[in-house]
């Protein structure tokens, strides 16, 4: 066996070993986060369901009281759920990632733990939580008698991945910059709170808006993500206003910028 082959195999083993170590570290952090967040109270995890359940039930009741029809074959409950989950995924991932470093500084005393591990662990925990909430609520609607059939599961998962990446990117930017500009978190809360919530298509589709309003709101990438989510879920709905290039480029650009900014500023931020 040649020397080059031996070196390549050794390098491959080193890469696999490093990946296994980082996976174990991230897994341990996720378990720690899960226990600290949900383990203090027996019903702690159930609180995750309160917000989507209240929104779904409230929207369904209001829809019934107003005598409105289903949205192009989408029942009120599923219409609300498919609009709410992308926004929740973005918001919760952004919030947890932005606080991941300050909330776990003690773990950085271990040489195996990096700030990147903290970001990935919190982001993955939120992704798992939101997907679990979605799956359980959809199952509950099926048991309640609703006809649920996801038309394109891979496209639905793709829409969630974009919201997930967008949340990581914004959260990483905030985590890197907030030690130097503490007020940026308050600014981000105002920008990505109610304004983002009410313009991301949670309560409407782009086709229901006047053209002048729609042209402005379509600058919000989460509106495209929500339109894609509903188009992937329902066979009866296909949005004509999704710009896949804009949506994907925007979310991936924010993700790349956030991770690069974090890489550049992490040491200076930890020193403050």
User: pLDDT-derived band of residue 12, with 50, 70 and 90 as boundaries?
Assistant: low
Q: Which two tokens stand for residue 28?
A: 């341990």
Q: Which two tokens stand for residue 164?
A: 């997930």
As a whole number of Å, the CA-based R_g of the chain is 21
pLDDT(171) > 70: yes
Interval 198-207 mean pLDDT: 89
Per-residue confidence (pLDDT) for residue 214, from 0 to 100: 93
Interval 178-203 mean pLDDT: 82
User: pLDDT-derived band of residue 75, with 50, 70 and 90 as boundaries?
Assistant: confident
Q: What is the mean pLDDT of the chain?
A: 81
pTM of the model as a whole = 0.85
Closest C-alpha among 90, 263, 245 to residue 166: 90
Per-residue confidence (pLDDT) for residue 79, from 0 to 100: 87
User: pLDDT-derived band of residue 245, with 50, 70 and 90 as boundaries?
Assistant: very high
Q: Which long-range contacts (CB under 8 A, 24 or more apart) does 188-196 make?
A: 188/94, 188/98, 192/90, 192/91, 192/94, 196/87, 196/90, 196/91, 196/220, 196/222
Per-residue confidence (pLDDT) for residue 212, from 0 to 100: 93
**C-alpha angle 181-185-189 in degrees, rounded to nearest 5:** 155
pLDDT(36) > 60: yes
Integer Cα distance of 168 and 161 in angstroms: 10
Closest C-alpha among 73, 68, 78, 53 to residue 229: 78
- Three-state secondary-structure class, residue 73: coil
- Residue 174's CB is within 10 A of a number of other CB atoms, namely 24
Per-residue confidence (pLDDT) for residue 113, from 0 to 100: 79
Q: Which two tokens stand for residue 271?
A: 């020193």
Q: Which residue has the higher pLDDT, 129 or 45?
A: 129
Closest C-alpha among 93, 24, 19, 82 to residue 52: 82
Q: Which percentage of the chain shows pLDDT scores above 90?
A: 23
pLDDT digits (tens, 9 = 90+) for 85-141: 899 899 989 988 888 877 677 777 777 778 888 888 889 998 888 888 888 888 888
Which residues lie across from 71 on neighbouring strands? 74
Q: Which residue has the higher pLDDT, 110 or 143?
A: 143
Per-residue confidence (pLDDT) for residue 22, from 0 to 100: 79
pLDDT(266) > 70: no
Per-residue confidence (pLDDT) for residue 218, from 0 to 100: 93
Interval 189-216 mean pLDDT: 88
Per-residue confidence (pLDDT) for residue 19, from 0 to 100: 72
pLDDT(50) > 80: no
Integer Cα distance of 200 and 151 in angstroms: 22
pLDDT(238) > 70: yes
């Amino acid at each position: 066996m040649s020397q080059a082959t031996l070196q390549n195999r050794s390098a491959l083993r080193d890469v696999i070993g490093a990946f296994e170590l980082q996976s174990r570290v991230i897994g341990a952090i996720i378990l720690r986060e899960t226990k600290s967040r949900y383990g203090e109270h027996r019903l702690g995890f159930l609180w995750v369901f309160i917000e989507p359940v209240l929104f779904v039930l409230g929207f369904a009741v209001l829809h019934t009281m107003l005598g409105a029809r289903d949205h192009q074959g989408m029942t009120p409950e599923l219409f609300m759920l498919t609009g709410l989950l992308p926004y929740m995924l973005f918001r919760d991932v952004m919030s947890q990632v932005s606080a991941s470093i300050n909330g776990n500084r003690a773990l950085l005393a271990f040489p195996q733990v990096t700030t990147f591990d903290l970001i990935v662990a919190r982001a993955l925990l939120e992704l798992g939580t939101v997907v679990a909430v979605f799956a359980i609520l959809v199952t509950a609607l099926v048991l309640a008698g609703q006809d649920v059939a996801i038309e394109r599961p891979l496209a639905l998962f793709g829409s969630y991945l974009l919201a997930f990446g967008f949340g990581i990117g914004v959260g990483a930017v905030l985590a890197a910059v907030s030690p130097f500009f503490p007020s940026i978190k308050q600014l981000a809360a105002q920008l990505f709170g109610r304004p983002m919530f009410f313009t991301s298509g949670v309560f409407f589709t782009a086709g229901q808006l006047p053209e002048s309003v729609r042209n402005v709101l379509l600058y919000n990438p989460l509106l495209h993500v929500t339109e894609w989510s509903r188009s992937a879920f329902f066979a009866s709905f296909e949005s004509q206003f999704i710009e896949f290039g804009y949506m994907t480029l925007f979310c991936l650009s924010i993700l790349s910028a956030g991770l690069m900014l974090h890489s550049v500023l992490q040491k200076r931020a930890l020193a403050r």
